[in-house]
Amino acid sequence: MKDAASTKPMYEQIFNEMKRKISTHMFRIGDKVPSEKELADEYGVSRITSKKALDLLAAEGVIVRKPGKGSFVADPDEPVVHREPISSESAETGTAGREKMIGLVITDFSSSYGTRLIYSMEQYSRENDCFLVLRRTFGDQDNEELSIQKLRNLGVNGLIVFPAQGEYFNAEILKMVIARFPLVLIDRKLKGVAAASISTDNLGAAVQAVEHLFDLGHRHICLLSPPPRDTTAVEERIEGFVQAHAARGIAFDKEIWISDVTATLPNAFYESNIEREIQRIMQHLQDHPSITAFFAIEYNIALLAKVAAERLGLRVPEDLSIICFDSPQLNIGEGYLFTHMRQNEEEMGRLAIETVLGIMNHDAVAVEKRLPAELVVGASTGPVKE
């Protein structure tokens, strides 16, 4: 039945096909129809999609859904009250009879990273008849903890959390893991704990970025990063930087790294801090004239490096190359595009919604999903100056 050329969503195609089978008496009154899992397997879709098809059939009175027993072809002569069965959970929390709500707790977002992620989450939550409720924490763990508490008190059915950087996860995240509350982490994972997480393959992306610099002839590459602080994304990017050198047999020099940049952290993004970091990078370049390229862990750090280089009269990329993670997606003829590793925010957002809904529906979901990043060559990298 699956029609790849159809513009109709799969749940609607399944709904129409099941309705046709019932109207042509392939399924008769009182017959049990395939379950969510059976339909998902038959049509190669998720259980979220097959559930939606069955919900539409029930809403039209074509089938009757009996909790614990299955779905059955309805008798058209019998009046049917179209309502969702009230689960014990919804009876306790008062969430019966309303749309599902998914909470999103995120440090912050910008044109360089986060906007497309949120756009995707909103789109896929809307397609699955859910509401997305957003709270920003600005990188403060106390704010993060309070945001989670308030969203849970509001009655959200699941949570997606982009954790603040820090040595430890806040207590509310650990409580949700222990209580098996539907939770998905973005960009980080809980070491040793089976909490679902969606992230970029940061290690592989870092390797690809450094190899790009190697291919341009760079050997003295300065790594610029915030303090790792047990933040898995930062740790993995640093590890990728190291592995890329090892794979090429090129020695790296930690003396030319700056691995404690703090001015770009959400809770420290002030003019005085920014100026201090720029001055520090300028001094670093003067102290280490062998540096020909920067590998910046994130976009805002790349901006600091570019300003520092230009103040010293260095041209990017003629005198100094810079590569980073993420860069604003520009309209034609606008702005400056760094060479960067573009994270697949759209797919990350879709998977986050799909995974949290899967947990809510008690489906088996992957504990960890990693997505490849794409190398986008911009204006900030070039061959080593002869």
- Residues 194, 184 contacting (CB under 8 angstroms): no
HSE, side-chain direction, 13 A CA sphere, residue 332: 0
pLDDT at residue 322, rounded to an integer: 98
Helix residue spans in 184-314 (DSSP H): 202-215, 232-248, 271-287, 299-311
How is residue 67 written in tokens?
């909790």
Integer Cα distance of 243 and 245 in angstroms: 5
What are 156-195's pLDDT values in tens digits?
A: 999 999 988 765 667 788 888 888 899 999 987 766 667 8
CB burial of 295-331 (b: ≥16 within 10 Å; e: otherwise) equals: bbbbbbbbbbbbbbbeeeebebbeebbbbbbbbbeee
Integer Cα distance of 274 and 385 in angstroms: 29
pLDDT at residue 113, rounded to an integer: 87
**258, amino acid identity:** I
Higher pLDDT, residue 49 or 310: 310
How is residue 378 written in tokens?
């911009």
Kindly give the interhelix angle for 10-23 and 47-59, rounded to the nearest 10 degrees. Answer: 50
21-30, 75-84, 233-242 — which is least confidently predicted? Answer: 75-84
- What are the residues facing 293 on neighbouring strands? 221, 321
Phi–psi pair at 102, nearest 5 degrees: -115, 125
- Residues 297, 226 contacting (CB under 8 angstroms): yes
Phi–psi pair at 241, nearest 5 degrees: -60, -45
- Residues 42, 54 contacting (CB under 8 angstroms): no
pLDDT for residue 252 is more than 80 = yes
pTM of the model: 0.72
**262, amino acid identity:** T
pLDDT for residue 292 is more than 70 = yes
Which domains can be identified in the chain, with CATH numbers? Answer: 10-85 (1.10.10.10), 97-200+345-371 (3.40.50.2300), 202-342 (3.40.50.2300)
Span 55-68, average pLDDT: 81
DSSP annotation of 247 reads H
pLDDT at residue 7, rounded to an integer: 61
Nearest to residue 181, comparing CAs of 199, 161, 165? Answer: 161
pLDDT for residue 94 is more than 60 = no
**201, amino acid identity:** D
Integer Cα distance of 111 and 300 in angstroms: 11
**298, amino acid identity:** E
How is residue 19 written in tokens?
């309705």
Please state the separation of Cα 43 from the chain's center in Å: 27
* Residue 321, helix vs strand vs coil: strand
State how far the alpha carbon of 219 is from the alpha carbons of 96, 138, 270, 384, in Å: 61, 36, 33, 9
What is the DSSP track for 37-87? HHHHHHHT--HHHHHHHHHHHHHTTSEEEETTTEEEE--TTS-----PPPP
